[in-house]
Homo-oligomer: A and B are copies of this chain.
Amino acid sequence: MEEENKEHITFKISPELIEQVQEIIAAGNRSEVLKFLDEYHYADIAEIIDELDFEDSIYIIKLLDSEKTSDIIAELDEDVREKILENLSAKEIAEEIEELDSDDAADIIAELPEDRQENVIAEIEDAEHKADIQELLAYDEHSAGGLMAKELVKVNENWTVTQCVREMRAQAENVTRVHSIYVVDNDDKLIGRLSLKDLLIAADSAHISSVYIPKVDSVHVDEHAEDIAKLMQKYDLEAVPVVDDDHVLKGRITIDDIVDVIKEEAEKDYQMAAGITQVVESSDSILELTRARLPWLFLGLVGGVGAALIMGDFEHMIKDHAVLFFFTPLIAAMAGNVGVQSSAIIVQGLANDDVKGSINNRLIKEMLLATLNGIILAAFLLIFVWIWEKDIYTALAISASLVIVIIVAGIIGTFVPLFLNKRGIDPAIATGPFITTSNDIFGILIYFWIAKLILGI
């Protein structure tokens, strides 16, 4: 035991470990498999199962008892879980569900096909757990109701401390972590809280109504997940109670649920910026990956065709000014890059509630910024083209166009996400290929107009 204590958390999945598991299973000695798996945390076993083939996975799930497998199933990759649950009966799934907290239970049931959902729920024996899960399934998954768990510790303001401690001990058995003790009145309305720390310090003889803190933060069941994430971060809350219109205590949300919301939100924005329309993982199938990537690429194709059509319109210039055409990829790339930079900063600022001041001020600032960047870059380009083509007018035309293109791209990149946000549309769609494509077309059009003007063609 002494030795075990010395270890930090060091689990690392490896091909060797997976091979070892496969060999032990192949040997067919059930007690050996059990002994081997007993050394691992359920989250580690879930990682192992994610790598095993289907038969071995089902073998492990059927071998272990439901107290452990329920946690494992909750931790699996969604695809793997789907396959495993397909091969369990409604009664077997219900047994796993019995062991889980109401929020995890509802999440797993929600993933099942609709006809199976009812069968599984019908098999749940604990009537209270069943009712809790049914209640949670009714809420939008991105709302407080969809995030919360029904398990919590609550006490009535009219209880004595003795009564309270007895009740709390019973309730605490069902709650994984006790963050706060919520105080309710006879109508189950939330009126305050008792902190465990206060309980540690409080005298044993006190009454609840005299010791509770009558101020408690709460959120409404319909509040959006992202807003709750912001609130819990800002006010440093580790758990927040959820109430309905009548302020009746319905459940509580803990910070670990919020960590998942934050991660998902960040991944969605990141993939959107990279031109991927839905959340995918590198391990997803080629068809899923194509479906996520092709739409944005198609948009890029349309943009490229648009640029080609514009250049076709200026074909008469190609004989005397071929060099103008050589710089179209540069113009398109700069317009795209500046647009993405501007929009990314705005999208991130909006996500953090960090965009203050008016749209006008923001646009003026972006114009100044783009002008500064544009002039620096154009100066380099001017020198290069001058040396290369030995023609100061062409060099001037190309550089001057670059400055204007960068300014316009910066303005579009700033304005579009702000506009979408005002309209209630997720501004993140304005990052990535959408802004790149429109900036490509605008960029090349502006470029040829200005070149034409300066060169007097």
Contact = CB atoms under 8 A, between A and B. Distances in A.
Interface of A: 1, 4-6, 8-9, 41, 43, 51, 165, 168-169, 172-173, 175, 177-178, 190-192, 196-197, 200-201, 214-220, 223, 231, 233-236, 238, 243, 247, 255-256, 258-259, 262-263, 266-267, 269-271, 273-276, 280-283, 286, 289-290, 293-294, 296-298, 300-301, 303-305, 307-308, 311-312, 315, 318, 322-323, 325-334, 336-338, 340-341, 343-346, 348-349, 352, 354-356, 362, 365, 368-369, 372-373, 376-377, 380-381, 384, 388, 431-433, 436-437, 440, 444
Contacts of A169: 200-201
A426 B290 CA distance: 27
Contacts of A341: 274-276, 293, 296-297
A326 B297 contact: no
A269 B268 CA distance: 12
14 contacts: A6-B247, A9-B231, A266-B266, A274-B431, A276-B341, A294-B376, A297-B338, A300-B333, A300-B334, A308-B330, A315-B322, A318-B325, A325-B325, A340-B432
Contact of A329 (B258, B304, B377): B304
Nearest to A355: B282
Q: Which residue among A190, A337, A388 has the maximum number of chain B CB atoms within 10 Å of its CB? A: A337
A304 B330 contact: yes
Contacts of A444: 329
Nearest to A202: B169
A216 B5 contact: yes
The A interface is mostly helix, strand or loop, or mixed, namely helix
Given A282-B345, A312-B326, A333-B437, 4 more contacts: A9-B217, A283-B356, A290-B373, A307-B329
A256 B235 CA distance: 10
B356 A214 contact: no
Copy number of this protein in the oligomer?
Answer: 2
A352 B283 CA distance: 12
Nearest to A281: B354
A348 B289 contact: no
A259 B368 CA distance: 35
Q: Which residue among A323, A330, A436, A444 has the maximum number of chain B CB atoms within 10 Å of its CB? A: A330
Contacts of A289: 345, 369
A200 to B, nearest CB: 5
Contacts of A191: 5
Nearest to A144: B8
B365 A286 contact: yes
A346 B282 contact: yes
A384 B169 CA distance: 73
Contact of A305 (B231, B256, B381): B381
Contact of A201 (B6, B43, B172): B172
Nearest to A18: B356
Contacts of A275: 337, 340-341, 344
B270 A273 contact: yes
